[in-house]
Amino acid sequence: MKVLITGITGVIAKGVARRFLADGHEVHGIDRRPWPDAPREIGMHTVDIRKRPAEDVFRKVKPDAMIHMATVTHFTTRFEERYRINLVGTRRLFEHCAKYGVKQAVFVGRHTIYGAASDSPLYHTEDEPPLGGSTFPELADLVAADMFAASALWRWPELNTSVLRFVYTLGPGRRGTLATYLEGPRVPMVMGFDPLFHFMHEHDAEEAVVRAVHHKLRGVFNVAGPPPVPLSLLCSATGRRAIPLPEPIFRRSLGRFGFPKMPSSATPHIKHPVVVDGSAFVKTTGFEYQYSESQTMEGFRWS
């Protein structure tokens, strides 16, 4: 099988690529960033997913499966560029899949698109609409990309599409939204709130992506690992010190005093839980996480 991975220089994407390679598949990657020490068996294409050279990769390689992991967040990219990469890039990739006969398309998304609010259900299911953009504008482009990927199920019914909404990931790569929030020795919290945080080990996330392809998964699926834990426990178990702050001070302290830089509109995600029900994915693929919440947190301890 020929597998094409966009955003292949990402930590989890690299792991996915190595797993497919170890299984004997032909692997190609698209990314604007180079991967200097990539395994020589991987066909690297240093191109922008929005540009014509990306379409040339589809035309020449003719992949059987495309795994889209090239979306970006507000931590790394400004809004205008995010919109073009996340929504325009996603649209063009799916159009290429339809045009060049790709059989399987996997969109790797995020569970935060459900949004965080005081009246949200404890466990979000795939039937719920993604409302994250309504309270967290920096998520709007990711919500739009997720919804466009889901629309491929009826736009191109011959393309076997799966949308995976992953919880936060932690691991030795020390990259990602939650890893960025926990980057320093002190972690700000909103006083009076201790929400559950849902996360999984990045190696388990790699396995979930591979299983989605091998099981020819079709539809929208939440992907989760072990049970969620309170933010205060997450801080202490990873060697961080939780600093409760009144909400007005919390908002003004972001990006200052050694605290993580994040938009103030992200505050609801520090006050309210975003927890998902991943049972449908487990039932369909037989997925079992290998790293418990304790093992995952211990492996991410501050050093």
Report the run of H or E that residue 30 belongs to, with start and end: strand 26-30
Full-model pTM: 0.95
CB of 19 closer than 8 Å to CB of 34: no
Q: Largest Cα–Cα distance in the chain?
A: 56
Does residue 148 sit within a domain?
A: yes
pLDDT tens-digit map of 223-279: 999 999 999 999 999 999 999 999 999 999 999 989 998 888 899 999 999 999 999
Does residue 195 sit within a domain?
A: no
pLDDT tens-digit map of 89-132: 999 999 999 999 999 999 999 999 999 998 888 899 999 999 88
Does residue 263 sit within a domain?
A: no
Does residue 233 sit within a domain?
A: no
H helix count then E strand count, the chain = 13, 15
What is the predicted pLDDT for the residue at 136? 84
146 Cβ contact list (under 8 Å, min separation 6): 107, 109, 110, 113, 130, 163, 165
301 Cβ contact list (under 8 Å, min separation 6): 237, 238, 239
Does residue 302 sit within a domain?
A: no
Counted domains in the chain: 1
CATH classification at residue 217? 3.40.50.720
Domain range for 27 is: 2-171+200-227+276-289
Tell me what the pLDDT averaged over the chain comes to: 94
Does residue 249 sit within a domain?
A: no
